[in-house]
């Protein structure tokens, strides 16, 4: 699926980057923690690190993500450049004005207590 804003190679790249800690955070997520965090994201379908790592490496290649040493070990975090691209302007916008519905993901209905990121 293409990135709706036309900024990243795909929607999955946007979402992987969007799950990383921001540059000002003093923590990051290990690959295993990211898989766990993203398994609950209905817009992606990662079930193991082998599926996720290629996206992280590509985001690093693009300058949007980086590996940093944190208390948890080697973790992934956004770069300032990646943060700016993620939160910046959309490239693609339709010309005709219309309302836009935000769809909260269905599985958000389920795990308020059952799941907590580690």
Partner 1 sequence: MSGTFSNYMETHVLDGVTGKVTTTPFVSPVYLCLCTTVPDSSKTGATIVEATYTGYARQSLAAAAWNSASSGGAGAASSTSNNGTITFAACTGGSSTIIGWALCDSATTGAGNMILWGSCTSTVISTTQTPATVASGGISITLI
Which residue in the block uniquely carries the two structure tokens 């990662």?
46
Q: Which helix (H) or strand (E) holds 78?
A: strand 73-78
- Cβ atoms 59, 16 nearer than 8 A: yes
Nearest approach, Cβ of residue 18 and partner 1 (Å): 5
In the window 48-77, what residues touch partner 1 (CB under 8 A)? none
Q: Is 40 in the site for partner 1 (CB under 8 A)?
A: yes
- Least gap, CB of 50 to partner 1 (angstroms): 21
Virtual CA dihedral for 22, 43, 52, 74, nearest 10 degrees?
A: 20
- Binding region for partner 1 (CB under 8 A): 3-5, 7, 11, 14-15, 18-19, 21-22, 24, 27, 37-38, 40-43, 78, 83, 86-87, 89-90, 92-105, 107-117
């Amino acid at each position: 699926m293409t990135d709706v804003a036309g900024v990243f190679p795909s929607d999955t790249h946007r979402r992987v980057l969007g799950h990383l800690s921001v540059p000002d955070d003093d923590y990051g997520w290990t690959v295993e923690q990211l898989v766990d965090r993203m398994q609950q994201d209905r817009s992606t379908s990662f079930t193991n690190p082998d599926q996720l790592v290629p996206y992280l490496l590509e985001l690093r290649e693009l300058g949007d993500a980086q590996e940093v040493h944190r208390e948890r070990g080697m973790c992934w975090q956004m770069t300032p450049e990646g943060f700016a691209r993620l939160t910046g302007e959309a490239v693609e916008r339709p010309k005709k004005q219309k309302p836009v519905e935000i769809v909260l993901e269905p599985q958000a209905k389920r795990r308020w207590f059952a799941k907590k990121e580690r």
